[in-house]
Structure 1
Amino acid sequence: MSTTKSILKGFGKTYFTEAGLLRRNRVIEDLEAYTPMLMKSLLANKLIHNTYTESIVIDDKSVEIFKLNQFIEMFTYKEYWQDSYTKFENKIGLTAGGKFIDETADVVLDFPFKDTVLKAGMKKEDQKDADEPFLHETIAKAEIDQLLEPKIFVNATKYDQENLDGAPVDAFDDENLIIKGNNLIALRSLKSKFAGKIKSIFIDPPYNTGQGSFNYNDNFNHAAWLTFIKNRLDIAKELLTSDGSISMTIDYNELSYLLALGDSVFGRNNLQNIITVKRASASGAKVINPGVVNVSDYLVIYSNNKDEWKPNKVFAAKERDKRYNQFIQNVEAPYSEWEFTTLLDAFAKSKNMKKTELKKVLGDSYNRLLDQFAFEHADSIFQWVSLDDSQISQEARNMKYNSKNDPDNIYYMERTGYNDYYMKNGKTMLFMRERLIEVDGELAFGTAITDIWTDVLPNDLHNEGGVSFKKGKKPEKLIKRIIELTSNAGDLVLDFFAGSGTTGAVAHKIDRKWILIDQMEYINDVLKTRLIRTMAGINTAGISKDVNWRGGGSFIYAELMEKNQGYLKDVQHSETTKQLEGVVHRMVEGGADFDFRVDVEKVLQDPEYQAMSVDDKKQLMVKVIDKNQLYYAYSDMEDRDVQDLMSESDIAFNKSFYEERDM
């Protein structure tokens, strides 16, 4: 806006009052009239020209269009360049066409600061005691473009079973990838290479419970969280294949808002499932307070295109079907010599007990041991079933009636592509083995999964992955089900709230390619360590036994190249006011990036700042350093000074990753 105002001042008092206030209505009138001198002056400015013009082709000729409505929109806001960052500043509500619901009929969700990019990172300290750090897509267009352009990767290291400690790598060939850095910026850096290539995205974002990363003041809590998520969903959609999907876990605090937001980004017709996931039992401290005990989270799944999305059939284990209660005592003998008894009699015989003694002697172990015996002898267990004449062939009907007339013998029919018939006295034998499927590495009676999952509670979550991540891990069994539902072997899976690395570990074990993004300092001790252990085949619990995981594969770890990190560390390590002032002056002279709303030199002259303690000054300086300008853009790599900060292998890796596109 400052650029626009400086141009308008060139027209003397035409657009300003004697008191220096902007005559907004006059500006809007002249814009709508396309006043020649005004338009010429505005479009001569490079920033305005690049931001508000668009080239279109008409009759094979390129024509530039000035986006007048978008430009005028600035002047209809409540002087927001001084005291507001967005026209949606005052309330959360439903709107249509930019007007609230009472003014129109078609409904979409709007919320405070919807039209902004939240500059906060994922770290809690990035938001603590800070004002709401938003960039407006119109006002700060240039800064947003700079913020989101692809960044340089450094410390690119490849890990495999021969290099568990890692080795520098100078090329990228679509390997599994861990990126350390702000996830919004990292996602934007992935766009040129991975747009339209990711089959399944899973995220476990901050739940906005008021206790975690989004503990803002109540007035802006929803706004901050919604903006944070929306920015990331927008780019996530661009990364998905046309038949891909995104799965998001959430609790009741923001479920309704996430659904409205998901509808706006992916389209309401692409909402595929809202799944209730039991995450705990109603026990312990949870049952002390009155009311309903909360033991569930929700899994929300959106497809990118409902007409192309084809989820896989996934099964959950169910209880043993007790109708399979007959037992062949000599199943290895020819079928004509088979001898029959009941399952319970065979179980009692295996325990050298009378059938009537089983429950009394075995106690609470009775059902478990009986099930174990049944599954171990599934080839010998069956049930008698009657066949519907209208559903079987003439040959089968003839055999059925022959067996009725000869009830002491077993009749056999081989059936190509189907289970064979064994008939006796008009009934066929349906074998238990033929009804079992593999669920989580074990044979079980299966049932198609529903939208209520109560069977993914972990028994030893704290041991999964071989790393500690208090209250942060999702069970590998849960992630396995999601990935198997939404992708196939060889597909690419992305998690940009990677946390402890569960998504990558599971994807690795079930033959998917993967990309993980996180910016927390624990990434080396937790996430990367977990993936090294997984790759090495070191016991990591979880689904390893279910899928017979023995290790293998590789991955690359890389970091977004930090720009002002040295300054930031120097500020944090300053012990005296003199040391801090030295750092700050170096920052100013060295062109460090500060929050665009702060004039640091004026701050330094402010008596209130000068009276602060050294700790308060340090906190303020950390706060005003533009954290999202800590990363070097890929376009900066043409600068020899930047290249001098990089290794030769990292320079080569970036050129390989970005396929040597123009910088």
Structure 2
Amino acid sequence: MQNLQEDLIKLLKNEENLVVDGHLNKNKIIELALKVEPKLIRLLLSTDTFKKHFFQKVDEVLIFDKIKFQRFVNNKSFLPDSYTVFKNKIGLVVNDDYLDNYITGSKDVVLAFPHKDCILEGGQTKEDQKRNEVFWNETLAPDNVDRLLSPKVFTNFKKYDKDGEHKVEVITPNDNLILKGNNLLCLASLLKTHRGKIKLIYIDPPFNTNNDSFKYNDSFNHSTWLTFMSNRLSIAKELMKDDGLIFIHLDQIEEAYMKILCDEIFNRENYVNTIAVKSSTPSGTKTAHRDKTIIKQKDFILVYRKSSSASFIPQYKRKEKWDTHFNYYLNKKDNTVISLLEKLKADKILEAEQSLKDFDIDNKKHREFYLKEANRICQTQSHKNEELKNQSRKLKDKVLVINENLENETMFYNGRQLTPLSKSIHEVIYNGKIDNDFGMLLCDFWDDIDFQNTQNEGGVSFTNGKKPEELLYRIINMATTKNEIVLDFFVGSGTTASVAHKMNRRYIGIEQMDYIEELPFLRLQKVINGENGGISKSLNWNGGGSFVYAELLQYNQKYIEQIQEAKTKERLVEIWQEMKYKAFLSYQFDAEVFDTRIDAFKTATIEYMQKYLNEILDKNQLYVNLSEIEDETFEISDEVKALNKSFYNTKF
């Protein structure tokens, strides 16, 4: 079969209409085959081997077996390039046909984009500014990926608690983890320890705008971003419990693409909703172009579940004003009812000339009254049980009590069900505090969380993209209970990990940037020491707990970082001199030939030299694989070996 594939490639590669960027486009070949394109048929018939293999004779007539041909070309070993469907298009596809002119209800619709079937290996480095990140990428076709996603060796283990930094002796199931390294590879490594264990994933990935730091040198910007996310989300799904949930925080730039991608990864049936979050106010420079655009005021959070077994703890927001349907006051002693307004005036809560509309939930005196009397303040509503309704009418001014258990009390008054305010008192977030108050069910529009004053929350400064602790509190509260595991693999400033820590959840945070030691790392130490910002006061947080820090053990990755940091050509040549003896280079690269041409290489621009040296490194060897931990080449200490054994054998 291998010879047949090679012969077919040789035959077709001379056809210009089948070649894109110097490579055969398998999908174009299939397209022509399904159309029984005469020119393609003549080519195949020109060779006895293909005539025999892809045609059959029926009554002396040769019939092209296009299904057999399609299966042959679709084989992953045939042209395992990075082209999925069509090279330059992103769109909805059914059986390789784009839905340009119609919409279908078929469940087979997927989002297709270039490089979808490949691994996008991305890296980041820290520049002078905290959020000025440089990304590089290389799209790896399936046949170039072998050990890239194998479990990796971790190193530089440290444990932090109230007494500071400690040497790690053993990893336990209760340890919180902060991991530094490429998040794709960290996630793949966690499959060995946490597959099916994560209850909640919250991620706030790069939004892929001109204003953030996700800047790939790639002509398919949207496609590259989608590939970047697709690889990571596919692994993330495997880490989730059956009743697990994932929240993906985005803005409008990629939200639509991400929705379709997640429909495919998590299944459309497991889409829960898209939450719109009010994240800014239209003021100042934001309104400068109001005559040319509609000002952005919201973010989106896509919510998916692993399976139908997932459930939520309902969340509530505080009522903005008094609900005048609550207009009765119940006297429990004799089961009689009076007007709430009458009671408020009798107790001098309201003045004689005032009405229920003047009952102000922001007034301290009024608030104290309705919270204290929540079991007696009531509203009425209709009920289907005619017998109970008739019984209550016969009692006239008295209340019919069906069940004395206050938690499940059913009361009727004049033929209508009487419902106490206490059933509308819920935990709410209000003015930066978490409290029990008059709440209304929170649905898919969240406009009650302050995004404007979070820059210094947690005792660390992070001006761009920092999410409020209140937001993460709400998400963690609705999706998890104590001791369940929360994962954030774009941990950034550490909001997710910090809030999870204060809420007694276990957590894993992953970050590749060097600022991990300045932001989530430092922030969590402050949390442990009793930092009182964000939601700390509402939770009566006084500190405590611990986390374990570890890093992926670099190999080729260290050369990539050196290359990116190099400021001169001389430094790049020095790096090459070490790379040729110690680095893992691509099997297609000939170091001896390159050395004979080193003088010509030095005449190139620094940018080209950096790009070239990056490309010749074997991306399967960025970090040390766990399977090679005993290899003396990597000089791994007995202590690190023991901690990796502890980590990978721990039953999380």
Question: Does 2:116 match 1:114?
Answer: yes
Q: How many angstroms does 1:490 deviate by?
A: 2.3
Answering whether residue 442 of structure 2 is matched by residue 449 of structure 1, we say yes
Residue in structure 2 matched with residue 436 of structure 1 by the alignment: 425
Change (3 A) 1:573 1:8: closer
Letter in 1 for 2:313: N
2:530 pairs with 1:529? no
- Given candidates 92, 95, 101, the residue that maps to 2:93 is 95
Q: How does 1:169-184 map to 2 (within 5 A)?
A: 169-184=169-184
Q: Which amino acid aligns with 1:652?
A: A
Residue 237 of structure 2: aligned partner: 237
Match of 2:368 in 1: 375
1:119–1:595 CA distance, 2 compared to 1 (3 A)? farther
The correspondence for 1:501, drawn from 478, 485, 494, is 494
- Give the conservation status (yes or no) of the 8 Å contact 2:206–2:214: yes
**Cα distance, 1:25 vs. partner?**
6.0
User: Does the alignment pair 1:220 with 2:212?
Assistant: no
- The question of whether the paired residues in 1 share the 8 Å contact of 2:359 and 2:366 is answered with no
Match of 1:551 in 2: 543
State the secondary structure of the residue aligned to 1:443: strand
SS of 2:649's partner is coil
Structure 2 distance, partners of 1:219, 1:486, is 38
In 2, the alpha carbon distance for the partners of 1:537 and 1:504 equals 15
8 Å Cα contact 1:241-1:304 kept in structure 2:
yes
Structure 1 segment 619-638 matched on structure 2, within 5 A: 621=613, 625=617, 629-638=621-630
1:68 CA displacement: 7.9
Name the residue aligned to 1:134. Answer: 139
Bigger shift: residues 144-153 or 365-374: 365-374
1:304 to 300, 303, 306: 306
C-alpha displacement at 1:491, in angstroms? Answer: 1.6
- 2:630 alignment partner AA: E
1:567-600 C-alpha deviation (Å, 9 max, x unpaired): 456656767655543432221022x134667655
- Is contact 2:313-2:477 (8 Å) kept? yes
Residue 136 of structure 2 corresponds to residue 157 of structure 1: no
1:639 shift after superposition: 1.2
Q: CA separation in 2, counterparts of 1:267 and 1:389?
A: 39
Percent sequence identity is 33
| 1:366-420 per-position Cα deviation (integer Å, ceiling 9, x unaligned) | 956525532356324754666979859879957973756xxxxx99998134477
29 and 300 in structure 1: CA distance in 2 versus 1, 3 angstrom threshold: farther
User: Which runs of structure 2 are paired with 1:186-585 in the superposition (5 Å)?
Assistant: 186-216=186-216, 219-289=219-289, 290=291, 291-305=293-307, 307-323=308-324, 324=326, 342-343=343-344, 346=347, 367=360, 370=363, 373-375=366-368, 378-380=371-373, 382-383=376-377, 397=391, 401=395, 415-418=404-407, 432-433=421-422, 435-440=424-429, 441-458=434-451, 460-539=453-532, 541-564=533-556, 567=559, 580-585=572-577
Structure having the higher helix fraction is 1
Cα deviation per residue 1:414-439 (whole Å; 9 max; x = unaligned)?
Answer: 81344779999999997545642222
Q: 1:32 to 1:195 in 2, by over 3 A?
A: farther
**Alpha carbons of structure 1 residues 308 and 419: separation in structure 2 relative to 1, 3 Å:** closer
* Partner AA of 2:366 in structure 1: F
Contact in 1 for aligned 2:454/2:466 (Cα 8 Å): yes
Q: Deviations over 1:321-363 (max 9, x none)?
A: 34356789xx999999x999543674668xxxx77799xxxxx
Aligned partner of 2:631 among 617, 639, 661: 639
Per the alignment, in what secondary structure is the counterpart of residue 515 of structure 1? strand
Gap change, CA 1:579 and 1:466, over 3 Å in 2: closer
Counterpart secondary structure, 2:225: helix
Distance (Å, rounded) in 1 between the aligned partners of 2:493 and 2:47: 53
Displacement of 1:211 after TM fit? Answer: 3.1
Of the structure 1 ranges 631-640 and 307-316, higher mean CA displacement relative to structure 2 is found in 307-316
Q: Distance in 1 between matches of 2:621 and 2:470?
A: 38
CA distance in 2: counterparts of 1:327 and 1:394, whole angstroms = 21
Give the drift of 1:536: 2.5
Q: Distance in 2 between matches of 1:31 and 1:474?
A: 60
Whether the aligned pair in 2 keeps the contact of 1:160 and 1:553 (CA below 8 Å) is yes
Relative to structure 1, the CA distance from residue 25 to residue 172 in structure 2 (aligned partners, 3 Å threshold; closer, same or farther) is farther
The CA distance in 1 between the partners of 2:380 and 2:112, in whole Å, is 61
Q: How much does 1:301 deviate?
A: 0.9
Aligned AA (2:297): V
Q: Does the 8 A contact of 1:403 with 1:426 survive in 2?
A: no
CA distance in 1: counterparts of 2:120 and 2:159, whole angstroms: 33
Structure 1, 288-297 or 228-237: larger mean CA deviation: 288-297
How far is the alpha carbon of 1:555 from its aligned partner? 1.5
Does the aligned pair in 2 maintain the 1:88–1:114 contact within 8 Å? no
Instruction: Find the counterpart in structure 2 of residue 49 from structure 1.
Output: none
Q: TM-score, normalised by structure 1?
A: 0.75
Aligned residues of 1:326 and 1:343 also touching (Cα < 8 A): no
Q: CA deviation at 1:89?
A: 2.5
What is the DSSP-based 3-state SS (H/G/I as helix, E as strand, rest coil) of the residue aligned with 1:148? Answer: coil
Deviations along 1:285-324, one digit per CA (max 9) or x if unpaired, are 222212321101111111111x322222222222343435
Residue-pair matches, total: 588
CA distance in 1, matches of 2:469, 2:317: 15
Q: Which of 630, 636, 647 is matched with 1:657 structurally?
A: 647
User: How far apart are residue 518 of structure 1 and its match?
Assistant: 0.8
Q: Is the 8 A contact 2:280 2:452 kept in 1?
A: no
CA drift of 1:448 comes to 1.7
**Residue deviations 1:86-110, cap 9 Å, x none?**
6642322333344555899853221
How far apart, CA to CA, are the structure 2 residues paired with 1:32 and 1:254?
A: 47
One-letter code aligned to 1:187: L
Q: Are the structure 2 counterparts of residues 424 and 85 from structure 1 closer, same or farther at C-alpha, using a change threshold of 3 Å?
A: closer
Partner of 2:61: none
Question: Secondary structure of 1:119's match?
Answer: strand
Q: Which amino acid in structure 2 is aligned with residue 401 of structure 1?
A: L
1:147 match: secondary structure: coil
- Distance in 2 (CA, whole Å) between partners of 1:16 and 1:402 is 92
> Structure 1 residues 252 and 580, CA, compared in 2 at 3 Å: closer, same or farther?
closer
Give the SS at the match of 2:111: strand
Structure 2 counterpart of 1:136, which letter?
A: A
When residues 339 and 202 of structure 1 are mapped into structure 2, their CA distance, relative to the original with a 3 A threshold, is: closer
Q: Aligned partners of 1:226 and 1:274: how far apart in 2? A: 18
Q: CA deviation at 1:181?
A: 0.5
Task: Please give the alpha-carbon distance, in whole angstroms, between the structure 2 residues aligned to 1:513 and 1:413.
Answer: 44
Q: Deviations over 1:195-233 (max 9, x none)?
A: 111111111111111333433468411110010000011
Normalized against structure 2, the TM-score is what? Answer: 0.76
The answer to whether the 8 A contact 1:118-1:133 is kept is yes
Q: Distance in 1 between matches of 2:497 and 2:380?
A: 49
